[in-house]
Structure 1
Amino acid sequence: MAEVIAQEKKGGKQNKKPIRVDMTPMVDLGFLLITFFMFTTNFTKPNVMDLGLPAKDHNPNPINIPYISDLNQVTFILGKDNRVFYHQSNAKDLNEGNLKETDFSGVKISNIISEAYKKAPKKENFTIIVKPTDDANYKNFVDVLDNIAISKKERYGITDIKPWEKKVYENAVK
Structure 2
Amino acid sequence: MENLPKKIRSKKLSTRVDLTAMVSVSFLLIIFFMVTIELAKPRVLVLDSPDYGCCDCPRYYSHEGENRSITVMLGENNKLIYYMGLLESPMVSPKEIKYGKDGIRRELLQRKNNLLKYAANGAKLENITVIIKPSKKSNYKNLIDILNEMEIAKISTYAIVPEFTPEESKLLASK
Q: Taking structure 1 as the reference length, what is the TM-score of the superposition?
A: 0.55
**Residue number in structure 2 paired with 1:170:** 173
- CA deviations on 1:6-63 (whole Å, 9 max, x unpaired) are xxxxxxxxxxxxxxxxxxxxxxxxxxxxxxxxxxxxxxxxxxxxxxxxxxxx969643
Provide the rounded CA distance (Å) in 1 between the counterparts of 2:172 and 2:87: 13
1:111, CA displacement in angstroms? 1.3
**Residue number in structure 1 paired with 2:137:** 135
Query: Residue 81 of structure 1 aligns to a residue in which SS?
Result: coil
Kept after mapping to 1: 8 A contact 2:127/2:155: no
Kept after mapping to 2: 8 A contact 1:71/1:119: no
1:117, CA displacement in angstroms? 1.2
* Superposed structure 1 runs of 4+ greater than 6 Å apart: none
Q: Structure 2 residue aligned with 1:161, among 148, 159, 164? A: 164
1:146, CA displacement in angstroms? 0.3
**Unaligned 5+ residue runs, structure 2?**
1-40, 49-61, 120-124
Kept after mapping to 1: 8 A contact 2:112/2:127: no
1:130, CA displacement in angstroms? 0.5
Q: Taking structure 2 as the reference length, what is the TM-score of the superposition?
A: 0.55
Aligned identity (percent) is 24
Query: Residue 112 of structure 2 aligns to a residue in which SS?
Result: helix
Provide the rounded CA distance (Å) in 2 between the counterparts of 1:84 and 1:78: 5
Alignment partner of 1:69 is 2:65 = yes
Query: Residue 74 of structure 1 aligns to a residue in which SS?
Result: strand
Counterpart amino acid of residue 80 in structure 1: E
**Residue number in structure 1 paired with 2:104:** 109
Kept after mapping to 2: 8 A contact 1:68/1:126: no
